[in-house]
Every structure is written in structure tokens, then in C-alpha cells.
Amino acid sequence: MGMAAVESHFHVLAVDDSSFDRKLIEKLLQKSSCQVTTVDSGYKALEFLGIESNDPNALSTSPQEVEVNLIITDYCMPGMTGYDLLKKVKESSAFKNIPVVIMSSENVPARISRCLEEGAEEFFLKPVRMADLNKLKPHMMKTKLNNQKLEEIDKPLNVAAAAAAVEPEIKDSAEVGSKILTLQSELEPKQVHLQVAQQEEQTLGNNNKRKSMEEGLSTDRSRPRFECITTAV
């Protein structure tokens, strides 16, 4: 699978039962310089990740060493919906930190809030556009940074050398310990910055979502749809 070569490229797992939509989302993601794996069901997505599903037809292979930076899934799918998939991912200890994005062609406010409450990072109305995908970069960066941070802590020599660069002369192991903690907290601000950026994006996103929710409420309930017949003819 060539894991070592993938440094600055994000790997996205796209889930949609429509082959048409899969082709579109794949192209959009490729244009955003992402590596893409597409599957046509929630079950296959879980299989790919290595989470056990209750599907008797699922292959019982051992979990793959796959780094997925984001899962983007359609909501309406037969069998396992995007919401079900979201829940399963968030329930899994290994994968709950992978950001999940839901797509839907229906603007249903209750559906949107349910997904966001369950932990979805974003909810996109189809057709998804490049502008929507640009919102995802911060989310994917977060998982990348988390993974990198874990790697750095695993290598004490590098940490000590970096710590030495931060402050002069480490005297004993207790100091090294505290230096590691300092480094960790130095990494945090970066994360916080991303989170702030994320929050800003999310607020914007939330505003858009709220807008679409309100639109959804007004178009679905009060405005009759029969007007479309007259304009078409």
C-alpha cells in the first residue's frame, strides 16, 4: 500500500452507494490533492478500516495498517446509513478521532443536528463543491498532527535534542521529564491555533448550516412546491 511515501497527502475514505456520486466525490478529492479510497457501503467502509461490523458477509481479515485522515459519507444508503456508520466509527476506540463528514441531498434540519451531535465534523448538502472540501483541510491536519505528535514522543533522543535547543543544558532526568512536558505544551498552542481556526470555520460553517436549516424549514414547510410546474412549462 506504500504507507511510507504518504507524507503530506491526506487519505480520505469516501462512502456512497451511488456510482455517479462516487465518481464526483473522488474527482473533487483528487483535485484537492487527497488520496482517495471509495467504497459503496458502510459495511465496506468498516471492513476497510478494520472495525468489526455485524454484517455476516464481511470478511474477517485482520485490521489493515491504514491511515485514514477523514471519512466522508453519504447519509442515505441502504442497510447502514451514513449516520449508523458515524456512530460505529465514534464508538471504536481506534478510529473515533478520525473526522467524519456527512453528505446529503436532502436539507433536513433534524438530520443535520443529529449528525453533528453524534460527532460529525461537517454536514454538506449535495452537490458538494470544491469550496466545501476546502473546509476540511483543518480537520485532516488535526489528525495528521496528532499522529506526528505521538511519533515524536516515542523518540526520546529527538525530544531531548529539541528540548536542548529550547532551553540550555539539561541536568538530570527529572528535568528531561519536565522538558518533555514543556514541549508537549508547546505543541498544544499549535493545536489550539488550529482549533481556533477550525472553530472559526465551523462557526462560518454553522452559520451556513443554520442558514440552510432555516431555508429548509421555510422551503419544506411553508412554500408550496407546485410553483415549479408553472416555471417549467
Residues found near other proteins in the complex (CB under 8 A):
18-21, 23-24, 27-28, 30-31, 76, 105-106, 126-127, 129-130, 224-226, 228-229, 231-233
CB distance 16 to 103 below 8 Å: yes
Partners of residue 233 on adjacent β-strands: none
Q: Which residues pair with 71 in a beta bridge?
A: 13, 100
Instruction: Name which of 39 and 51 has its Cβ closer to other proteins.
Output: 39
The cell numbers describing 180, all together, are 518533555
With respect to other proteins, which residue has the nearer C-beta, 4 or 229?
229
Cell 453528505 -> residue: 103
Q: How far is the CB of 24 from other proteins (least distance, A)?
A: 6
* Pick 174 or 228: Cβ nearer other proteins: 228
Q: d(Cα 188, Cα 179) in Å, to the nearest integer? A: 14
Pick the closer one to other proteins by CB: 24 or 116.
Answer: 24
Q: How far is the CB of 41 from other proteins (least distance, A)?
A: 16
Tell me how far, at minimum, the Cβ of 209 lies from other proteins, in Å: 18
Q: Where are the beta strands (DSSP E) in the chain?
A: 10-15, 34-39, 70-74, 100-104, 122-125
